[in-house]
Chain A
């Protein structure tokens, strides 16, 4: 597959800006380093040409930003969507979170995004990172060059990519891919096969790392509530810091439950977590349970889908049998 270049995207964006198809471009902006990339709304050709980037570090799912930006900005917004982002895009539309008319979506291919933390484990002091065919070449401050293989430094969410196919766009750049076979439930199954004590130990050790920075929530495209229950003093469960092990769990259980049946498994929660807690394993547990008990369901496949937790059949499995099935 031909890799799509930053230039191609900039050229497209400029074209759409100049012919007044769109007024804004939601994309990724270069940072101080090659890898610290931020989502950004570009308004003019100049900034686009100077600062727009599409590289192996553009893991950020831009869909969520449309919720706020379509309301804030008057004109039409061009957004670039990687395959997995299109699921979130559809899910947000299903929930009426933004106005489709105000968005011009361009699907772009993605070969898997890289995790800078994984790169940093291999060396100290990065001066530059160059993408190669097999992975990256990292030049360090002390003039060393280290080559790393792509598979080893992929983001957690990209290691088990579920799809290279776009489910929403106005226009597609590059070639369309396919839905992939993947092993994304293996880790969940592994945990399920442990004893209750082992599972408790695992999660206790993981969740105790939580610093309640809310990065997972803020990155999550399903968490777009006008006001989050954890910020609402009237909700009865508001809290700002994990004062104890219960509240770590409460926060993550409630969050996972709130997005259950709506989560597209985009993996932003784990990507955003500064403590590297594998939060996606909570969401995937729900997805796996839903698939097993209520039939295969992928959130965001199409707009207007009815989610599994707002549906039922009279023959649904009994809660007690959910455990038994797991055995």
Chain B
């Protein structure tokens, strides 16, 4: 079979205080991960509206990952707890609608966990790549 591997598009929402800093640390330590991952900086994981996640899928993202401070370490004390409930509910709903559950993920990455950030992204990209193109959620009009 002559199918070139699909290059996935991954949107990563990272909270400013922990995970974004963790991503920076991964950079400082030159811990590679695929360029398919594009990071959007948000103040806190609780800023991520389900709308943003769905919007990303609509526009052609193949996977969406939300990264925040570890529970208990939120810069705003409780933001990631709300995010945890919201995303648990949203992702469970997407799963219920038959969207592949490997396309969504929540991961807690601290500012010191550059290695975890890189490993998480490598793993996530690999899993999403295996799933291939996200056909179940995207808006066909958005594609070129």
Contacts and interface: CB of A to CB of B under 8 A. Distances in A.
**A/B: CB atoms within 8 Å of each other:** yes
Interface of A: 188, 191-192, 196-204, 236-237, 243-244, 246-247, 249-250, 253-254, 256-257, 260, 282, 285-286, 289-290, 293-294, 308-314, 316-320, 322-323, 326
A309 B92 CA distance: 14
Most-contacted residue by chain A among B55, B98, B99, B101 (CB, 10 A): B98
B61 interface: no
Nearest to A206: B97
B72 interface: yes
A contacts with B: majority SS: helix
A254 B50 contact: yes
Interface stretch (B2-10, B25-33, B35-43, B133-141): B133-141
A326 B91 CA distance: 12
Nearest to A281: B96
Interface stretch (B13-21, B78-86, B109-117): B78-86
Interface string B61-103: 0000000000110000010011011111111111111111100
B96 A285 contact: yes
Contacts of A285: 92-93, 96
Nearest to A313: B81
A202 B96 CA distance: 10
B51 interface: yes
A236 B99 contact: no
Given A282-B96, A318-B106, 6 more contacts: A198-B98, A199-B97, A200-B97, A294-B85, A309-B89, A314-B72
Contacts of A188: 96
A198 B86 CA distance: 25
B88 A319 contact: yes
B106 A282 contact: no
* SS class, residues of chain B in contact with chain A: helix
Contacts of A246: 57-58, 137-140
Given A237-B55, A282-B93, A314-B72, A319 B87 contact: yes
B95 A323 contact: yes
B119 interface: no
A286 B58 CA distance: 22
B139 A257 contact: no
A250 B49 CA distance: 13
Contacts of B82: 309-310, 312
B89 A253 contact: no
Nearest to B86: A309
A247 B139 contact: yes
B60 to A, nearest CB: 11
Given A192-B96, A246-B139, A322-B92, A254 B51 contact: yes
Contact of B71 (A236, A254, A314): A314
A34 to B, nearest CB: 38
B139 A256 contact: no
A311 B82 CA distance: 7
Contacts of B93: 253, 256-257, 282, 285-286
Contact of A308 (B85, B95, B141): B85
Given A246-B58, A312-B82, A314-B72, A191 B96 contact: yes
B95 A196 contact: yes
Given A237-B55, A257-B50, A314-B72, A244 B81 contact: no
A286 B100 CA distance: 18
Given A312-B82, A319-B106, A244 B92 contact: no
A314 B98 contact: no
Q: Which 6 A-B pairs have the closest CB atoms?
A: A200-B98, A312-B81, A199-B98, A246-B139, A319-B88, A319-B106
A290 B92 CA distance: 11
B142 to A, nearest CB: 9
Nearest to A289: B92
A237 B95 contact: no
B133 to A, nearest CB: 14
Contacts of A247: 139
B98 A320 contact: no
Contact of A200 (B81, B84, B99, B106): B99
Nearest to A201: B98
B82 to A, nearest CB: 6
Nearest to A308: B85
Nearest to B79: A312
